[in-house]
Amino acid sequence: MSIWFADLTPESLGQLTRGGFAERIGIRLTDIGPDYLRAALEVTPEVHQRYGILHGGVSAALAETVGSVAANLCVDSERYVCLGQELNANHLRPVSGGRVTATARPFHIGHRSQVWGIEIRDERERLTCIARLTMAVVARGASAS
């Protein structure tokens, strides 16, 4: 059974990150399954930190992007929006090149909050970063105060 509110295809995923920060740094949504969403990023010098490895903030941005898109795909987007509340990331292995892939899976999908686990792996399937993302589910038009 699928967790997604709408029917999506891998081909339609590319439109979900167009025009923003994710597109600017090269994050691409690549795959969707019944309970996961996957994104990829090429590790180039543009996303390195000064020591020639993937910047931790870029790993965090990749995790938050895939988790945030996934959370929003689980709600009726005309009635609700999911907004990030907290992100925790543990960087486990440096990556200097190639591609990393982030897979988001839910720990909890509730009416007011969601919690997602994200694993980032290198091309050899080695775990490079793990993250936990908490999202608030907010009614559209609700006051921000």
66 Cβ neighbours under 8 A, 6+ residues apart: 27, 29, 37, 38, 39, 102, 103, 104, 118
What is the rounded CA–CA span in Å between residue 101 and residue 86?
21
So what's the pLDDT on residue 17?
77
Strand partners, 135: 84, 114
Q: What is the pLDDT along the chain (145 residues), one digit of tens a residue?
A: 789 998 877 678 777 778 889 999 999 999 999 999 999 999 999 999 999 999 999 999 999 999 999 999 999 999 999 999 999 999 999 999 999 999 999 999 999 999 999 999 999 999 999 999 999 999 998 755 5
What is the domain partition of the chain in residue ranges?
10-139
Q: At 16, is the secondary structure helix, strand, or coil?
A: helix
Fold type of domain 10-139: Thiol Ester Dehydrase; Chain A (3.10.129)
Q: What is the pLDDT of residue 11?
A: 72
Residues belonging to the chain: 145
Task: Just list the catalytic residues.
Answer: 64
Give the pLDDT score at 15. Answer: 77
Give residue 136's pLDDT.
98
Q: What are phi and psi of 89, to 5 degrees?
A: -130, 135
Q: In 10 A of CB 50, how many CB atoms?
A: 6
Which pLDDT does position 145 carry in this prediction?
Answer: 56
Is 10 in a helix, a strand, or coil? helix
**Distance of alpha carbon 78 from alpha carbon 139, whole angstroms:** 9
Report the C-alpha gap between 10 and 60 in whole angstroms: 23
